[in-house]
Structure 1
């Protein structure tokens, strides 16, 4: 299975810079999360290459997954045709995080190891990870 992640790099020198990676092996997830923990890394959009497209003409995936790492917490949001927008039930002490078009509410950050486990599951199954409990977020 394969997932692709792309994210902006907040840089005063380059207003439209970004980075990305394609993962095929579970042990590659830790490298992605290390890169997302870098100070200027924005929120990553992640998609599973084996899922069907919602719009084949536009190449739009049938799911939307966003991932970030900040201040020792991992953040993830997930929505698809079967699930409303949701975030993990995280540590109540985790601060909220806003990045681009994504807002992670307070208490939705999890340990980075938990996020890594969830991403490995997503890579393996292509489905919303069951390794974390989810709570629906009002859009």
Structure 2
């Protein structure tokens, strides 16, 4: 049985992250990002179903950002083994800045994807126990 994924995207979530354990909870989180303050357009997701490192820290991170107007977004899947991966495809801008709880997160040569694909990828991540979504192709994030 899956335990779900913890999500942080507001100050209130620092001590009490949102638990994503259903398609409904995932939809609610993305809708909240669409309606959010422009300084909080990105969520950090950590699966509770993956093994932790010996230090106790997660071995992964999944960032989910929603662009202005809620029509598109950005995804970044990171692990120690694979590095940081973003959706493959033609870059949509030289740089895109998304806000993670008032902190800017810049993506170089980002490939922003339609919001429906963002929703699908988050559902796949959560409901697969934290695996990298296969509903899209990935490439290494430029640094």
Could you state the TM-score of these two structures normalised by the residue count of structure 1?
0.79
Counterpart among 61, 75, 82 of residue 64 in structure 1: 61
Aligned-pair Cα RMSD in Å: 2.2
**Higher normalized helix content (fraction of residues):** 2
**Which structure 1 segments of 5+ residues have no match?**
9-16
1:14 aligned partner: none
User: Greater relative contact order (Cα 8 A, min sep 6): structure 1 or 2?
Assistant: 2
Q: 1:23 to 1:34 in 2, by over 3 A?
A: same
**Shift in Å, 1:101:** 5.7
Q: Aligned residues, how many?
A: 129
Moved segments of 4+, more than 3 Å: 17-20, 90-95
**Higher normalized strand content (fraction of residues):** 1
**Which structure 2 segments of 5+ residues have no match?**
none
- Residues 1-139 of structure 1 aligned to structure 2 (within 5 Å): 1=2, 2-8=4-10, 17-19=11-13, 20-40=17-37, 41-56=40-55, 59-71=56-68, 72-89=71-88, 92-93=91-92, 96-99=96-99, 100=103, 102-125=105-128, 126-139=130-143
